[in-house]
Structures are given as C-alpha cells and as structure tokens.
Structure 1
Amino acid sequence: MSGTSMDGIDAVLVDFSRPQPKLIQSLSHPWPADVRHDLIEARKIPDDKLSSLNALDIQTAEIFAEACLKLLATTSYKAIDIKAVGNHGQTIRHRPEIENPFSLQIGNAQVLADLTGIDVVSDFRTADIESGGQGAPLVPAFHQTMFSCEKTNRVIVNIGGIANITVLPKDKNQTVTGFDCGPGNTLMDIWVQQHKQQHYDANGDFAASGKTNVSLLAHLLMDNYFQLAPPKSTGFEYFNLDWLNTYDLNDMNNADIQSTLCDLTATSIIRAINQYAVATDEIFICGGGVHNKTLMQKLQTLTTCSVSTTEKLNIHPDWVEAMAFAWLARQNTHQQYGNLPSVTGADESVVLGKLTPAHIE
C-alpha cells in the first residue's frame, strides 16, 4: 500500500484464519528518490496520455515486489504459504465525477505476481465505480469489521494525503457511513516541501511555529467540496498547489500558512463528524497524520469527544490501511463483498479487485 503522500510502501502480513484478523509482521519500504519523483510527475499527465505509463507501471511493481519479499524475509513464512498479495497500487488518477469515471493505480499485477511467486489481487476500485460508486473510500468495510463496538458510537479517521471518516454506530441496525472529508496531509506536505525542502512537516513543527490566519481559513473552508453531501471522494487532482494558489497568499508568513493548512485539515474533519456523526462518543485516528502532533492537538481542541489512535484498539495506526487492502484481497479470494454502498454510493455490494495468478515455472 502506498498512499497519496508517497512517504513509503507499507507492507503487512496478515493471518485471516481466525475470526479476528491478526497482524503478523509489518514493514515500511522506502521509495527510491528517482521513482518517487517520476510518480509525482506522472500525476501531471493528461487523462488521454496515461497509456504512456507502461514502464513506470512495471518499475513500480518491481519495487512493490522488493517490499513483499523483504517483509517475508523477516518471518518464517515462504511465498507458498501466502494466499494472495493485496496490491492497492499507486494512485495516479482518481476521476469519479466525470462522464466516464475511472480510477487508475499503477504497479503491474502480473509482474508483481511473477516476481513474488504469489497470486495478486489488485484494481480494487473499478468494480465499485462500475456499480455507480465513487470507488472510494474503501477502508470503511474493514473498519466496520475491526473496530465496531456495541457500547460506543465510534468514528475512525484515516489521515493520509486525503482524510476520510468511517461512522460506526453502536446500534447494529444503523447504517455504517463514511466519505472523504477533504485534505489530510497533502496540502501541508506540498507547502513544507516548497518552503522547507522536506517531504512532510515532522511533528507538525513548521505549523506550530506559525499562527493560523483566521480569514484565510474561513475562505478555504468555503470551498464547494466541503459543502457537498456524501457520498463523495477526492484526491490530489483537486486539493493541490494550483488549488491553494487560487487564494491570495501574498504577504503571508509561510509558517502561518502551514498552521492554517493544519487547521483546515483538523476543522474539516471535525465539522464532518459534527454534521454526519452527531452521536459520536470516541474518535480514533490512523494513517500518517497521527505523527503530526500539532494536528492531533488541534483535533482534540475542536471536539469534546476523546481523540485517540487506533493503537488503543490494538492496531498500530501506521498499518491499518495496508491491513484493509489485505482484507479486501481476502474478500476477493472468498468471493465476498468488499464495498459499502452506503459509503461509496454504489448501486449494490460487489466483490472488489481482480485476481492475477502467479506464473510459477
């Protein structure tokens, strides 16, 4: 699993032989700097030129294979012991809103299967889109499996490049819902890269050194995306530097802008919860955003609910999303549904992903 931030490849080994999935091993594998650069540049390619990505598709799969084999090498398991690799891929384009919607992730499944000797399940989003859904977010079904509680109303917040929420009512007769609520780390990453030459704002220190511009924050929050009712999903195609530059940032301190972007993420998350999950008792955070101490503090300041990480629920927040796609691969191999129409807006529940067998000589 590699998310919008491209801060590394998360690989996990998960045992699904018991009713409750068990994380056996985890590993974060770095992107080579040149490949990461090429992937970021690939986001700029027009929709009608995406077929030119064949070489990068294969190269990405080769690095995914390195991550898989490196993970296995830290355990006693061999390729023959593994049922399947769940390969989310690297998202290059997510267009659920256009006339002919699609979502493109690269990381060639056949190359990955052949290099690892393990069958691969990939292309998770297409079936949901073909059923009329957004193709995202897909993690809420896993959140429901792992984190639902009969005693409390919970919200799981995944803060990657984009932030999404999963609403888990304690009443099993109520519907699980969820959606992308807006930018997670993506705008903060872009800004700190531009002005500090860092991939991300470590601990949120850059944001903490500034003071939020209340006027700018108010204008950012007026964006149409925040007013849209779910189901909805978004990505770097929308929330990017071009989007940010449509606002008047002249004469503003760079640290103040970073603080404002941090508040944008925190405020849009809490507003989404307040509007669509009014009975929430507990909020649990997963994804890279948990390492931004400033962001975590802002989230807690904005709500009376307790804000914790999923580590309190026995899954480290760094590995929840990778585990989710391992679970979706398991659903595919058992021909069981993986999407929640109440989340994505699909017409029906469908089996997600396509199985690519490994060619073993």
Structure 2
Amino acid sequence: MYIGIMSGTSLDGIDLVVADFENHSAQLHHQAMYPFPEELKSKLIALSQGAPVTLQEIGTIDHFLGKTYASAVNRFLNETGRSHQDITAIGCHGQTVFHQPDGPMPFTMQLGDANLIAALTGITTVADFRRKDMALGGQGAPLVPAFHRYLFGESHQTRVVLNIGGIANISVLAPNAPVSGYDTGPGNMLMDSWILQHQQQPYDKNGAWAATGSVNTALLSQMLEDEYFELSAPKSTGRERFHQGWLTQQLALFVHAVSPEDVQATLLALTAQSIANELNNDDAGELLVCGGGAKNTALMSALQNALPRWQVMPTDKKGVEGDSLEALAFAWLARQALNGEPGNLPEVTGASRQCRLGAIYFPD
C-alpha cells in the first residue's frame, strides 16, 4: 500500500490517501483531509504571492511543512488503524511556492522537507517529482495526466479529465492519439480569494454568492485577454500569476465599477470559459471533473452550458472519488519511482524523454 499526500494551490488543506494499484485501477482504502495550521497557511500565501522573504524564513517554512506532513501521516495511520509497516512508501508532492518553467533559468520550488517526513513516520518517502522532468526540458507540469491515462485511458471516445483546484488543468485522452494536458488557467483560486476578502468565507459553497450576481461580459473579455490564455501547450501556471494582485490590476484597468457579487459571478465565468475555450474544437466526449470545483454546482452548470456537446460529470460517476484523485496520483508516482518506471509524459510536459520522477528518502 502507498500513501499519497497532496496540498494544492488552493491551500484548503492536506489531502491523504492509502491505496493499492493494479490492472489500471486504484483501490482506495482510506482518505482524509487535514487543515493547515493558520500560521503556516498565511506564510505560504504570502510567499507564493511574492512577499519579501529571507533564506531563513524559507528554511523555516520548509521544516514546518515537513513536520506538518509527517504529523498528518501519523495521525492518519492512527485513525485508520494502520501501521507504518503496512506502507511501502509515501508520495508527497510538497507545497508549490513558485513555478517558473520558462525563460533562461527555469525552476520550480516545492517546500516540505521529505527527510523529516521519512524520519518522523518511519516510511520511505518519494518527493521532488517535478525537477527531473524540467531537467529534461519539460514544464514539470502537469504530472497527473500519466495517472489519468492509467485510470481512464481505455475508452472508444474522447475523455477529458478536468481537475479544478486552485488552478484548473486538463488531461485529454483521445482514442489512437497521444495524451495532451496542461493548465487552462485559474480554477477556484481567484473566487476563493475574492469571497474571503468580501464575505470572510474561505470559499463560495455551490457558487451561491456568484449566483446572486451577473457576469460582466466586458470584464470577462478583458480578463480572457491575458497572454497566458493565448499560449500553446505545453504550459503551466500557478498562484505566482493568477493571484489577488492580478485581479486587483484587472479591476483597476476596467473603466466601470463592478459590484463584489458581479465580480464573483465573472470570476466563475472566467474559470468555466477558459476551460471551455480549450475544448470546443475537440471531438465531444466525456468531461470528467475532479477537485474542489466539482462540488461547485454553479460552476458545473456553467461548464455544461459552455460545452453543450459534452457529457459533464464528476469522476465519482466513474468510480473514482474526485477529492482523492490528485493524492492518488502522487501515491501512484511513488510506486512508479520505486519500481523504476517512468512517471511523466513528454507529449504533455515537453520533456525530451520519459523518466522516473522523484527523489527517494529512506527512513534510516
């Protein structure tokens, strides 16, 4: 059995799973989500938005995260009646605080000291999944399409797996065609930030607040002019681009005042339309949605309206719990690493070849 740990750009908490993998299926034994300590969450948001930081502070956050992940694993094992001896390895994505895959010095930074995780849990830990792909010329993202192909690749029709976390990303699984996948743009991140600012709520449950407003089509068009949406794949993005400051700048450029609820409705439309713009030219098939956005009924309706030829449904309809999918992917990537098998898809990331992903940290 393997443990997968995922904490995404939405910073809503730490997702954990215990799972086995066999015959292109995942057997999920347990799953849980634990919140970040508020002090750690605020430090991570500030860091990912470009706040000035010292090397000492980066090291402190790295250590704090490693201990937090390890504590979550030990709590998870205790609550599920499992022992560390039951677990072959932990796959831990770490927390991305910056991702810059382009330019003369591309790099990505995930914090969360895996040495601490291995030492404090007694379990072999695999982490640092992205940098080998980048060393081979890739974007280091998205990495989950390989796992999506493993789970959902056997089909006579096109399937697109859409993960809506802080950022939205797609994996396009078409019959007799290479897999493609990339980040489409903001997922929940901007909506979460806006409602926290105006309603003191961490997220807009079912898009209820957005539903009280109206989409400002002119503001939506302006937002969609961001150059990221014009880039060709492979491409990836994160909080370092689509953050609160980006939204503030967009509103400052807009000549008319927009009510807070109309901004929220427009942000929901931005997520849906930026996804739909990537799929309207493809052969219609199944759009399988996972991540927190799959629970936003207003967002799911907006996606179906923007993609009338597609069957839009949560991955739960295919027997895979949507909240667990990304954590499952990193448990699977840990398995791939220990088995000496590749974890990336060069046609997705742009790397020069397939390779094993992740560094392995032993507990002794």
Q: Same fold (TM over 0.5)?
A: yes
Q: State the partner residue of 1:180.
A: 183
Structure 2 residue 301 is matched with structure 1 residue 297: yes
What is the Cα deviation at residue 130 of structure 1? 0.5
Deviation at 1:141, TM superposition (A): 0.2
Residues 159-188 of structure 1: per-residue CA shift (max 9 Å, x gap): 0111001000123xx101111111101111
Select the residue among 253, 266, 288 that pairs with 1:260. 266
Cα separation, 1, equivalents of 2:55 and 2:147: 30
Distance 2:52 2:162 in 1: 30
Q: Kindly provide the CA deviation profile for residues 199-245 of structure 1, in whole angstroms up to 9, marking residues without a partner as x.
A: 11111111111000011111111111111110100111111122222
Of the candidates 29, 41, 54, which is equivalent to residue 24 of structure 1?
29
Q: Deviations over 1:276-333 (max 9, x none)?
A: xx11311010011112111111001111211000001111110000000111111100
Aligned residue-pair number: 355
Q: Are 2:283 and 1:279 aligned?
A: yes
Alignment partner of 2:126: what SS? strand
* CA distance in 2 between partners of 1:75 and 1:18 (Å): 25
Among candidates 254, 257, 278, match of residue 251 of structure 1: 257
**In the alignment, what sits opposite 1:342?**
347
* 1:237 aligns to 2:243 (yes or no): no
Give TM-score, length-normalised by structure 1: 0.95
For the Cα contact (< 8 Å) 2:50–2:240, is it kept in 1? Answer: no
Map of 1:8-47 to 2, 5 A cutoff? 8-16=13-21, 20-45=25-50
Q: Distance in 1 between matches of 2:144 and 2:54?
A: 29
The farther-off stretch of 224-233 and 12-21 is 12-21
> 2-side partners of 1:47 and 1:255: how far apart?
32
Distance 2:128 2:27 in 1: 24
1:1-361 matches, within 5 Å, as: 1-16=6-21, 20-45=25-50, 49=54, 52-171=57-176, 174-247=177-250, 248-249=253-254, 251-275=257-281, 278-303=282-307, 304-359=309-364
Contact kept in structure 2, 1:155 and 1:280, CA below 8 Å:
no
- The offset of 1:45, in angstroms, is 4.5
TM-score normalised to structure 2 length: 0.94
1:151 is displaced (CA, Å) by: 2.1
CA distances 1:319-360 after superposition (whole Å, capped 9, x unpaired) = 00000011111110011100111111111111110000012x
Task: Classify the secondary structure of the residue corresponding to 1:66.
Answer: helix
Q: Structure 1 residues 131, 50: closer, same or farther in 2, change over 3 A?
A: farther
Distance 1:213 1:45 in 2: 29
Deviations 1:82-114 (A, max 9, x none): 111001011111111132111111110010111
Secondary structure of the equivalent of 1:113? Answer: helix
TM-fit CA distance, 1:70: 1.9
| Residue 49 (structure 1) shift | 4.7
SS of alignment partner, residue 105 of structure 1:
strand
Partner amino acid, structure 1, of 2:172: V
Q: Secondary structure at the match of 2:323?
A: coil
Inter-partner Cα distance in structure 1 for 2:191 and 2:51: 25
The code of the aligned residue for 2:174 comes to: P
Preserved contact between residue 156 and residue 284 of structure 1 (Cα < 8 Å): yes
Amino acid at match of 1:270: A
Question: Which amino acid is the alignment partner of residue 198 of structure 2?
Answer: H
Q: Does the 8 Å contact 1:182/1:226 carry over to 2?
A: yes
**Alpha-carbon shift at residue 66 of structure 1 (Å):** 1.8
Structure 2 portions without partners, runs of 5+ = 1-5
